[in-house]
Amino acid sequence: MRGNYSFRQLSSTCYRSLQNEPINNKLQNATKTSTPSKKTLTQKRSEPKNKKSAISDSEIVKWNMSITTHMRNGQWESALQVFNSMPRRSSVSYNAMISGYLSNDKFGLARDVFEKMPNRDLVSWNVMLSGYVKNRNLGAARVLFDQMPERDVVSWNAMLSGYAQNGYVDEARKIFDRMPDKNEISWNGLLSTYVQNGRIEEACRLFESKEDWEVVSWNCLMGGYVKRKRLVDARRLFDQMPMRDEISWNTIVTGYAQNGELSEARRLFEESPSRDVFTWTALVSGYVQNGMLDEARRVFNEMPEKNEVSWNAMIAGYVQCKRMDTARDLFEAMPCRNISSWNTMITGYAQSGDISQARNLFDRMSQRDSISWAAIIAGYAQSGHGEEALHLFVKMKRNGERLNRSSFTCSLSACADIAALELGKQLHGRLVKAGLETGCYVGNALLAMYCKCGSIDEAYDIFEEISEKDVVSWNTMIAGYARHGFGKEAMTVFESMKTAGIKPDDVTMVGVLSACSHTGLLDKGTEYFYSMNCDYGITANSKHYTCMIDLLGRAGRLDEAQNLMRNMPFKPDAATWGALLGASRIHGNTELGEKAAKIIFEMEPDNSGMYVLLSNLYAASGRWGDVSRMRLKMRDNGVKKVPGYSWLEVENMVHTFSVGDSFHPEKGRIYAFLEELDFKMKLDGYVSSTKLVLHDVEEEEKEHMLKYHSEKLAVAFGILSIPAGRPIRVMKNLRVCEDCHNAIKHISKIEGRLIILRDSHRFHHFSGGSCSCGDYW
DNA sequence: ATAGGGTTAG
């Protein structure tokens, strides 16, 4: 219980800090660091003026060049020293400082210089404008643009590019139309607006409306075709181009390399007049993406020069093939690691299940970006460490890290895993505030979160709001309804999916079949199973077979289930045997259950759930000797029984309970209430069924222990602390036991409450004395 | 000193 207790505290920390944490940490820090330089800037204003005439303009030019050089090398402190020690400064000196700060990502410092600058010229305004654009602060950019005393074509082009990069195609077009004079960059700006925002047909029309495009624009349009995998169109442009530069060759090589046409990529690579790091890297990455790792490595070894990106591409190749040791060797060997290199390794470790190595690297990084955070958060979320994932999300916010779609979706999936509905809703709110709730990627994450947190109606609302549903959206909704036991609804969604013209895939059919299985629709499920190959060209995989065996098993057709299993085109895995074991349990077939469990033990000696299932099966038929042998076997094999616990959220706090819990501060009230309930339940006809306890104890003792099962404690606490009329949502890490299931049905009737219980397998909606699973789980 | 195109990680 102590272990769970720490989980409770951890989770409540997450909640509080998400609500109260200051939003402007980063801003405050930024102003803090910039304060001293402000002072030095103003101090130096009182320089001796008499020297002014002694310094020639050509001297000043030398100082200015020194500033630029320092800034280019990233030494902005040295640049500031030069600037401060200048006897006289031209506006070029100021402009060099501003643009230097901007290219070193010191936006605040750049703005300070700009605001302190005595006589701004047009370039100063333009530099600052590009700074706002680069910082994606379009509003401020537009204010500055409107304030400018005069504008040249550079100003207009900067504004145009700002709108383009942020997806404001129509605004960009307006700027283009209003421009007093246009140059080639303006034309290219409009073209790239269309290309960058996926409006390739408009780009194409614009391109055809004018002759004499520069090579940049040819490359831009060709790149657009490559991104949309329209290789034939890209190649047509490439062949038509009046002249080609290195980028043209790189673009077309990349196009073929990324689309699996490696031999054509290779041919053009050999044919190109010159090759730079980009060309080489494109080829390496092409081989990597096509799983041709050895060929990739050969090219990589031949490269005349490599940069970080080349190394990262090669490392990513090994990561994809789960060869983490080789990836690590390269990572250690590379001379110029950047954030991406670290991120690639972290992602690799996280995906291969080695979360501690991932965390190790994450902690060792000197600089992290939003991808590093997303990678580690996703790593924890996907390996079942939802609490730690959310903990890191909060930490990330506190560090002032910019939240993006990816960090949100990872955290939403963590919420889904631990069923933190309230936190998930807060994230939803923040997504809307940040304007990031659009797009089906985020929509799908929200949808999955609401499904897994037991809020199926809100899930459906989200589902309806996703404007461009992809196959994942449909699959998530179908699987969501299936897990909640709403077979009819799942079928309705499946039908509308087909009407909408979305082709069901193998995942869809797993959802559909499990919907049938969770609702007991044997005939419908059988029909789908046998017709899906003919109807949608989907060949049944082991998951489909498992659903089918589950469906037959639940219906009591254990022989047919076994037959199907014998005739499967592949070897049954642990999940398939698990379906058979579950069916044996429901129908009390100890012999078959024993057989299935033994096979599962051989496949997964660490699966404690199976030991418990089998023990319970023995206990149910009074075979106590076998029960104790199981316990010995578990001990000898070093398998720890996962302790059962349940949890629920009340006012942003997660409360956790386990069997016989005596830690909760409200335990007195809870236990008293349970006694009271017990009395009422017995009047309602409840008889406690003790056959599923994993202990050989006296009958009375057994009943006592059952009464204190974690889900009962959690439900009792929920009724006491959640206002009437609102559903009580309880989660349990294991499958709900039969006695608790029975008891909660009575409780829902006696108290007139809707109780939604998520166990490790599915959802149960209890109300008015019955459960949505129809006692089938 | 300011505006436009190509390679990696999610």
Average pLDDT over residues A68-87: 93
Give A184's contacts (C-beta < 8 A, 6+ positions apart).
A214, A216, A217
Lookup: nucleotide whose C1' is closest to A250 CA:
B6
Lookup: nucleotide whose C1' is closest to A342 CA:
B9
Report the distance from CA of residue A261 to the C1' of nucleotide B7 in Å, as an integer.
17
Residue A54's pLDDT band, with cuts at 50, 70 and 90, is low
Report the distance from CA of residue A768 to the C1' of nucleotide B8 in Å, as an integer.
57
Phi, psi of A763 (to 5 degrees): -105, 145
Lookup: nucleotide whose C1' is closest to A282 CA:
B7
How many angstroms separate the Cα of A27 from the Cα of each of A18, A97, A185, A399, A408?
Answer: 18, 21, 34, 11, 21
Give A209's contacts (C-beta < 8 A, 6+ positions apart).
none
How many angstroms separate the Cα of A757 from the Cα of each of A489, A499, A647?
Answer: 19, 33, 10
User: Given a cut of 90, is residue A81 above it in pLDDT?
Assistant: yes
In the sheet where A770-771 sits, what is the strand order?
A653-658, A645-650, A728-732, A755-758, A763-767, A770-771
Residue A753's pLDDT band, with cuts at 50, 70 and 90, is very high
DSSP A458-505: HHHHHHHH-SS--HHHHHHHHHHHHHTT-HHHHHHHHHHHHHTTPPP-
Lookup: nucleotide whose C1' is closest to A130 CA:
B2
Report the distance from CA of residue A505 to the C1' of nucleotide B3 in Å, as an integer.
47
User: Given a cut of 70, is residue A699 above it in pLDDT?
Assistant: no
Q: Mean pLDDT, chain A, as a whole number?
A: 84
Short-list A70, A91, A92, CA closest to A81? A70
Report the distance from CA of residue A206 to the C1' of nucleotide B8 in Å, as an integer.
32
Q: Distance between CA A710 and CA A731 in Å, rounded?
A: 10
CATH of A541-642, one of 1.25.40.10, 3.90.550.10, 3.40.640.10, 1.20.58.760: 1.25.40.10
Short-list A304, A288, A305, A306, CA closest to A296? A288
Domain borders along chain A are 541-642, 645-771
Q: Distance between CA A114 and CA A123 in Å, rounded?
A: 11
Q: Determine the pLDDT at residue A642.
A: 65
Residue A747 burial class via C-beta count within 10 angstroms: exposed 0-12, middle 13-18, buried 19 and up: buried
Report the distance from CA of residue A495 to the C1' of nucleotide B8 in Å, as an integer.
42
Residue A69 tokens, joined: 């050089």
Q: Give the model confidence (pLDDT) of A193-224 as tens digits.
A: 999 998 999 999 999 999 999 999 999 999 99
Within 13 Å, how many C-alpha atoms sit on residue A336's CB side?
A: 8
Report the distance from CA of residue A236 to the C1' of nucleotide B8 in Å, as an integer.
28
Helix (H, G, I), strand (E, B) or coil at A439: coil
Report the distance from CA of residue A341 to the C1' of nucleotide B5 in Å, as an integer.
25
DSSP-assigned letter for residue A44: G
Q: Distance between CA A749 and CA A769 in Å, rounded?
A: 5
Give A637's contacts (C-beta < 8 A, 6+ positions apart).
A605, A606
Q: Which residue is nearest to nucleotide B4 (CA to C1')?
A: A185
- Bases in strand B with any atom closer than 7 Å to a protein CB: 1-10
Phi, psi of A679 (to 5 degrees): -60, -50
Q: Distance between CA A495 and CA A209 in Å, rounded?
A: 45
Q: Determine the pLDDT at residue A603.
A: 82
Between A128 and A651, name the one with better pLDDT.
A128
Lookup: nucleotide whose C1' is closest to A65 CA:
B1
Report the distance from CA of residue A748 to the C1' of nucleotide B10 in Å, as an integer.
44
Give A485's contacts (C-beta < 8 A, 6+ positions apart).
A518, A519, A762, A763, A764, A765, A772, A773, A774
Q: Determine the pLDDT at residue A428.
A: 87
Q: Determine the pLDDT at residue A237.
A: 95
Report the distance from CA of residue A438 to the C1' of nucleotide B6 in Å, as an integer.
29
Hey, what amino acid is at A242?
Answer: P
Residue A255's pLDDT band, with cuts at 50, 70 and 90, is very high
Between A250 and A588, name the one with better pLDDT.
A250
Hey, what amino acid is at A240?
Answer: Q
Beta-bridge partner residues of A650: A653
First-to-last CA distance in chain A? Answer: 27
Q: Determine the pLDDT at residue A690.
A: 58
Lookup: nucleotide whose C1' is closest to A346 CA:
B9
Q: Give the model confidence (pLDDT) of A271-304 as tens digits.
A: 999 899 999 999 999 999 998 999 999 999 999 9
Q: Distance between CA A297 and CA A320 in Å, rounded?
A: 14
Residue A30's pLDDT band, with cuts at 50, 70 and 90, is very low
Lookup: nucleotide whose C1' is closest to A133 CA:
B3
Lookup: nucleotide whose C1' is closest to A196 CA:
B5
Q: Distance between CA A523 and CA A526 in Å, rounded?
A: 5
Q: Determine the pLDDT at residue A37.
A: 39
What percent of chain A is modeled with pLDDT above 70?
Answer: 88
Q: Give the model confidence (pLDDT) of A531-553 as tens digits.
A: 998 888 888 888 999 999 999 98
Report the distance from CA of residue A134 to the C1' of nucleotide B2 in Å, as an integer.
12
Give A163's contacts (C-beta < 8 A, 6+ positions apart).
A138, A169, A171, A172, A175, A193
